[in-house]
Amino acid sequence: MSPEPRAAFDDPELVERFADLVVGFGANLQPGQVMAIGSEIGKEDVTRALARSAYRHGARYVDVSYFDLHIKRARIEYAAEDTLDFVPPWLGERIVELGNMHAARIGLTGPAHPGLLAGLDPNRVGRDQLPAVRETGPVVNARTTNWTAVPCPTRPWAALVHPDVDPQEAWVTLCEQIVHVCRLDTDDPIAAWRERADTLVSAAARVTDRRFDALRFVGPGTDLTVGLLPTSKFLAARFETVDGIQHLPNLPSEEIFTAPDPARADGVVRATKPLVLGGSIIRGLEVEFREGRAVRIDAEEGAEVLRSYAARDETADRLGEAALVDGDGRIGALDTVFFDTLLDENAASHIALGHAYAMCVEDPADEARINQSSIHVDFMIGSPEVRVLGVGTDGAETPVLTDGAWQV
């Protein structure tokens, strides 16, 4: 018998290289900073590698917070209905204090226990939105922390993404894909990311310079117009803190994005990929907007979960982000549904219900108008068949993204 194929993330040297890329470039940890890592039970090996790398990079302290989805399931099954949206104050205070300390932060994405919440009452599932806390948005907007979110492969996730092969082959394939999309298969991953980031920053500047009044998405089942604010600007995922520390908030990142006018979204949009939300999978999603609000949320599976999120507060059913993804990125070319928002949103253009990023507007008057909701839920609406048009104040339409290629 031939030996069982070995996955990239079974190689300690590769895991350490991955950790160094995430810590030293993605989060760009500075000597003396506190490093916070948000992880999940099932991701211990990568978490420990990140901690080792953080201390090698001069971290003052590494604070790891593990979330256990099994405990969340127990809460949803058995807790009293009126307690499900209770969030202990110290969870929010932790992120606020990390901001006060100008800490570095890393979040690990990718489902470690896919399907664990299946079969539960979706209304109850939507009430408990942990591990997300509402304090994260204001800390991000304050730009006090240098942070990144990165995928962490697990064997259960591999089986979800590649169900038609044996578990070991699925594990090997998912690990290879993550190595590829993170550009760890290049001679110099940091140089490769700098080059890609430069390309995206240039595209963001070109779209911003057109000062469109709105974006229109047109494709199968989709005709949605999203209004923009007068000073909405597009950014690529290369941020800078108030202390001048550059970081990639998503690694990998293939998008440019902006803050839309939460009062202006009209039409129907059909998701082009499944959405994983709070441990639940939403498939076949279709949303109708009228005068900014999501007035209809339907899906083949899991609609009630998103409806519950959209009812969380006064503006949770309005948009807080519109993002464009071209066809030159590494994720979309894999033609794989990852069931992970970080990867799937960087494979296709997307919009988000909820909180907006204040750095995406240039005028304080517009900043006062952006969505301040406590949620932020991205879902993917782009594909090669979905055209993106820029709409001028006179109603004239200009192609922006066609067949995955920039037209501006």
Q: Assess contact for 36 and 104: CB atoms under 8 A.
A: yes
- Region 250-274: mean pLDDT is 95
Dist CA 176 CA 182 (whole Å): 10
Q: pLDDT tens-digit profile of 16-29?
A: 999 999 999 999 99
- Region 222-234: mean pLDDT is 97
SS3 category, 408: coil
- Region 198-227: mean pLDDT is 96
Give domain limits for the chain: 8-152, 189-406
Give the position of tokens 């109850």: 124
Q: Which residues pair with 287 in a beta bridge?
A: 269, 297
Model confidence at 44, pLDDT cuts 50, 70, 90, reads very high
Dist CA 192 CA 93 (whole Å): 37
SS3 category, 300: coil
Model confidence at 3, pLDDT cuts 50, 70, 90, reads low
The pLDDT mean for the chain works out to 94
Dist CA 306 CA 366 (whole Å): 27
Dist CA 110 CA 141 (whole Å): 24
76: its two tokens: 């949803």
Dist CA 296 CA 374 (whole Å): 20
Amino acid at 70: H
Q: Assess contact for 9 and 176: CB atoms under 8 A.
A: no
Dist CA 354 CA 340 (whole Å): 18
pLDDT at 256: 95
Q: Is the confidence at residue 216, as pLDDT, over 80?
A: yes
Query: String of b and e for 201-240 (b: at least 16 CB within 10 Å)?
Result: bebbeebbeeebbbbbbebeebebbbbbbebbbbbbbbbe
Residue 76 — φ and ψ, nearest 5°? -65, -35
- Region 261-279: mean pLDDT is 92
pLDDT at 404: 87
Give the position of tokens 């990867």: 343
Q: Which pTM was predicted?
A: 0.87
Nearest residue to 151 via CA among 43, 281, 23:
43
- Region 81-91: mean pLDDT is 95
| 3-state SS string for 185-242 | CCCCHHHHHHHHHHHHHHHHHHHHHCCCCEEEEEECCEEEEEEECCCECCEECCEECC
SS3 category, 320: strand
3.40.50.720, 1.10.1740.10, 3.40.1830.10, 1.20.120.420: CATH of 8-152: 3.40.1830.10
Give the position of tokens 């070991």: 168
Dist CA 238 CA 197 (whole Å): 7
pLDDT at 220: 94
Report how far apart the first and last C-alpha atoms of the chain are (Å, whole number).
55
pLDDT at 1: 46
CA 178 to chain centre: 15
- Region 163-171: mean pLDDT is 96
Residue 161, CA distances (Å) to 172, 191, 235, 282, 314 in order = 12, 29, 30, 15, 35
Dist CA 323 CA 117 (whole Å): 29
Helix axis angle for 44-56 and 12-21, nearest 10°, is: 60
Q: Is the confidence at residue 2, as pLDDT, over 60?
A: no
Nearest residue to 370 via CA among 309, 323, 324, 322:
322
Model confidence at 115, pLDDT cuts 50, 70, 90, reads confident
Q: Is the confidence at residue 353, as pLDDT, over 50?
A: yes
- Region 119-123: mean pLDDT is 88
β strands within 97-186, DSSP E = 104-109, 146-151
In the chain, the percentage of residues whose pLDDT exceeds 90 is: 84
pLDDT at 59: 98
Q: Is the confidence at residue 148, as pLDDT, over 50?
A: yes
Residue 74 — φ and ψ, nearest 5°? -60, -40
Q: Is the confidence at residue 250, as pLDDT, over 70?
A: yes
